[in-house]
Amino acid sequence: MAEKVVITQGKYLCSAVKKEQYPEERRKEIVFIGRSNVGKSSLINSLTRVHQLARVSSQPGKTQTINFYEIGAKIDDSPERRDFYLVDLPGYGYAKTGAQRRKIWSKFINEYLLTSEDLQFVCQLIDIRHAPMASDIEMFHWLVEHNLPVLVIATKADKVSRNGVTQGVAQIKKALGIPELDVLPYSSVKNTGREELLQVIGDCLLET
């Protein structure tokens, strides 16, 4: 499908660490997951083109709650707006977090991922420059086992050469064990991959 998706607005809605704090209004949800510092919040800013919508930091562990962003989108020339949520999650695999925090992390995030009825797909972000870590591989398999559709996004593509992009993507497919997997290279600095991701989102918004 070749419809054009235009993001018309993006705004922070709410943060949650338990079910009662999820948004009242139900909308389709697209979630971003990945290690701390991989670029989840940056990707949300790049995708929506709203500067500093999600807080970015060079220090890992910036995002600590499930953050819901309310996004308005128009598809093709349809005057009707389709609103949905982008959901930013705290990073996993952050060494300094400690075992206790990791336990809490997994509890409220597992609860969200396993009970949200509006979740459409999970974007799992992996840094294109490094081989996926054990925590990335574990997370990918966990998502697949729980029947959550996953789109793997290789982040920080601007930091490697064109050849490096090809190699990074191949490395990710190999580590995740699925040669035919679609891996989308993305750069939040150059907005590479943005149109492709908007296409996937558009297809998902048009589904009933």
Ligand X SMILES: Nc1nc2c(ncn2[C@@H]2O[C@H](COP(=O)(O)OP(=O)(O)OP(=O)(O)O)[C@@H](O)[C@H]2O)c(=O)[nH]1
Which positions lie near ligand X, rule CB under 6 A? 34, 36-42, 56-58, 60-63, 90-91, 155-156, 158-159, 187-189
Contact 69, 12 (CB under 8 A): yes
Is the Cβ of residue 57 or residue 110 nearer to ligand X in the bound state?
57
Give the CA dihedral 60, 93, 186, 162, nearest 10 degrees: 100
β-pairing, 150-155 vs 183-185, is: parallel
- Binders of Mg ion among 175-204, rule CB under 5 A? none
* Residue 188 contacts which entry, Mg ion, ligand X, none (Cβ below 5-8 A, type-dependent): ligand X
Strand, coil or helix: 29: strand
Cβ-proximal residues to 185 (8 Å cutoff; 6+ apart), any chain: 128, 153, 154, 157, 165, 168, 169, 192, 193
What's the min distance (Å) between Cβ of 60 and ligand X?
A: 5
* Residue 48 contacts which entry, Mg ion, ligand X, none (Cβ below 5-8 A, type-dependent): none
What's the min distance (Å) between Cβ of 165 and ligand X?
A: 12
Binding residue for Mg ion, selected from 41, 45, 120, 124, defined by CB under 5 A: 41
Q: Look up residue 51 and give its two tokens.
A: 């500067």
What's the min distance (Å) between Cβ of 40 and ligand X?
A: 4
Is the Cβ of residue 114 or residue 189 nearer to ligand X in the bound state?
189
- Binders of Mg ion among 63-122, rule CB under 5 A? 63
What does the alpha-carbon distance between residue 13 and residue 182 come to, in Å, rounded to a whole number?
A: 31
Q: In what side-by-side order are the strands of the sheet with 5-16?
A: 5-16, 66-75, 81-88, 29-34, 119-127, 150-155, 183-185
What's the min distance (Å) between Cβ of 162 and ligand X?
A: 15
Is the Cβ of residue 40 or residue 173 nearer to ligand X in the bound state?
40
What's the min distance (Å) between Cβ of 138 and ligand X?
A: 17
- The residues that touch Mg ion, with contacts defined as CB under 5 A, are 40-41, 62-63
